[in-house]
Structure 1
Amino acid sequence: MTKKILVINPNSNPAVTEGFSDAVAPLRLAGGPLIDCITLEEGPWGIESQEDADRVVLPLRDLMMARTDADAFVIACYSDPGIEICRRAVPKPVFGIQESGVFAALQRGQRFGVIALGPKSIERHLPYIQRLGIESRLAAERPLNLSVEESESENAFPRVLEVARELAEKDFADTLVLGCAGMARHRQKLENAVGLPVTDPTQAAVSQALGTVLLA
């Protein structure tokens, strides 16, 4: 039976799901595990506040519990809403894109900078960074001041590049993380433009899930 990695977009915007599904396409190996990207229909259109994140925890858990066909799960929302509850609820490994993304970035630099959606997003991210014990390696988080929907548009790239350059030149970050699954389309172009390694956290989480499933 073909193994399966279920990548869940906790917001209800299918364009975000489509964007990160395209981003993980190189990881869809011939004869390898199926990488199935789905949208949580009960979720808000964009997860931009703590309230938005809290709303998706139980629906995420219930979805994972129902999907007994999956061999691993990825929560494709930066800040990893409900990751502890989901890990307790299902026997299969659960990966969060913030956790996976920042640890992947730290393999490519000493101080990572995060391109966040806005101030409310940063409020959610920083306590998690502290719990992960890597606050000393964080150069800074800077906001785009864009919505999830706006950030995934090609038109957002000039603003994404502006914030990336601020993180590099003002905060001395030597590696960057995209702080939202919806920014996946910008990774390669941004890396080429700014001259620093750029981690797309969904790619990082799916890569780690893929390795885990293949070696199981």
Structure 2
Amino acid sequence: MSDPIVVINPNSTEAVTKSMSDALDGLRVPGGPEIECLTNPDGPPGVESQADADLAAVQVREIVARRANSASAFVIACYSDPGIHAAREATDKPVFGIAESGMLRAMSIREKFGVIAILDRSIPRHMRYIRALGFESRLAGERALGLGVVELSDEDRAYARLVETGRDLRDKDGAQAVVLGCAGMARYRQALEEELSIPVIDPTQAAVSNALTNTLIKSS
């Protein structure tokens, strides 16, 4: 049996970890590696600013370094991919970021994608990363819910805002697929996809799928 795929929630909100873990149940296959989701207990309640991302980056790197010999791969489950480059220096195991993986998944199935962010102030941070990855030409737009990470647990309010924001990305910006810009949105993916009638990508599922494929290929 291979070591687990370790999925790190860089914030300290256990509800986010549970939501993303539940969304990964379909990837927990018989004979496959364990998918272990853990919370960063010292992190901010949500990664909602550059300062939050910078703090979480150091903590993520430390978690990866501690688990370097007891994981087959790592997934950083925050849409800023905080600490991804430092984490890759800390281990010889693959490290996947959910933003990078989610956008790559979107671009593999549609020409233009949109991103749903949590807050307006998240968008400049995401845009810096999108430009650094070279994905800007494929981005239709990014729009914010106006809800913080903790507020995503208010299901009626969060889902209504997701539908409204997703429709704006589709109808006003021309997005042909939507990437959820926070791991805490995972529980809404399927219903939102049915509502919008375009692909809606949970980036944590995309990143863990990449990690799972890598692990299974290595063990075959």
TM-score by length of 2: 0.96
**Count of aligned pairs between the two proteins:** 216
* Paired position in structure 1 for 2:55: 55
Paired letter, 1:64? V
The runs of 5 or more residues in structure 2 that have no matched partner are none
2:76 aligned with 1:75, yes or no? yes
2:197 aligned with 1:203, yes or no? no
Cα shift readout 1:116-151 (whole Å, capped 9, x = no counterpart):
011111111001111111101000000101001112
**Deviation above 2 Å: which 4+ runs of structure 1?**
none
Alpha-carbon separation, structure 1, partners of 2:190 and 2:108: 18
Secondary structure of the residue aligned to 1:42 is coil
* Paired position in structure 2 for 1:174: 176
Per-residue deviation at 1:79? 1.1
Cα shift readout 1:30-53 (whole Å, capped 9, x = no counterpart):
111000000000101111000001
Secondary structure of the residue aligned to 1:99 is helix
* Paired position in structure 2 for 1:194: 196
Per-residue deviation at 1:106? 0.9
Secondary structure of the residue aligned to 1:73 is strand
Alpha-carbon separation, structure 1, partners of 2:153 and 2:140: 24
The runs of 5 or more residues in structure 1 that have no matched partner are none
* Paired position in structure 2 for 1:22: 22
Tell whether the 8 Å contact from 1:152 to 1:185 is kept in structure 2 after alignment: no
Alpha-carbon separation, structure 2, partners of 1:59 and 1:115: 25
* Paired position in structure 1 for 2:162: 160
Q: Percent identity?
A: 54
Tell whether the 8 Å contact from 1:139 to 1:171 is kept in structure 2 after alignment: yes
Alpha-carbon separation, structure 2, partners of 1:153 and 1:26: 24
Paired letter, 1:26? G
